[in-house]
Amino acid sequence: MNIVLIGFMGAGKSKIGRLLAKKIGWTHVDTDDNLFKRTGKPAGVYLREAGEKQFRKLERDVIAEVSALDKTVISTGGGVPLNDDNMADLKRNGTVVWLKASPEIILGRLGDIKTRPLIDPKDPVNSVRERLSARVPFYEKADHIIDTDNIDGDAVVSKIAILCGLS
């Protein structure tokens, strides 16, 4: 059994995953880190250089691998739920939680958008808005949804632990 965190870039999946794993004593993996181990490059850099098709292919392999783990908190890259096979694998052995955030909050949390190849630096607000709304139907396939706009990291972690019966 795993806990899988999905959501848009900047939603806090990596940070919350780390905190949650510590709280419940599970292992934490981050799929972007696993991609880094395979390519030697940060996810955004690899995506820009290799193209999205190749990136998604490699990401698919990483998901198949981490889905087989147990007692693991899995922080996923923002595009993972777009692939139905990814979601099927992750759900087979895990509870999927969408860390939901509004475009305004996402932009505030993103920091340097130059490292984000899928966001148009000339119009980041609309770029995030449009990409997020296209992804909502995929993120909605989560088992649980937590609105993170107005609560801090510790509160998000506690909510997930309660929802998953681990608190």
Look up residue 135 and give its two tokens.
């992804």
- What does each C-alpha distance from 125 to 59, 94, 108, 109, 132 come to in angstroms? 26, 33, 10, 13, 11
The verdict on 5 binding ligand S3P (CB under 6 A) reads no
The verdict on 12 binding ligand S3P (CB under 6 A) reads no
Continuous segment of H or E residues that includes residue 160: helix 153-163
Q: What's the rounded Cα separation, in Å, for the pair 15 and 157?
A: 10
Rounded least distance, CB 152 to ligand S3P, Å: 19
Rounded least distance, CB 167 to ligand S3P, Å: 25
Are residues 158 and 165 in contact, defined by beta-carbon separation less than 8 angstroms?
Answer: no
The verdict on 78 binding ligand S3P (CB under 6 A) reads yes
Mask for 100-119, x = binds ligand S3P (CB under 6 A): ------------------x-
Contact positions with ligand S3P (CB under 6 A) in 15-54: 32, 43-44, 47
Which positions touch ligand S3P (CB under 6 A)? 9, 13, 32, 43-44, 47, 77-79, 118
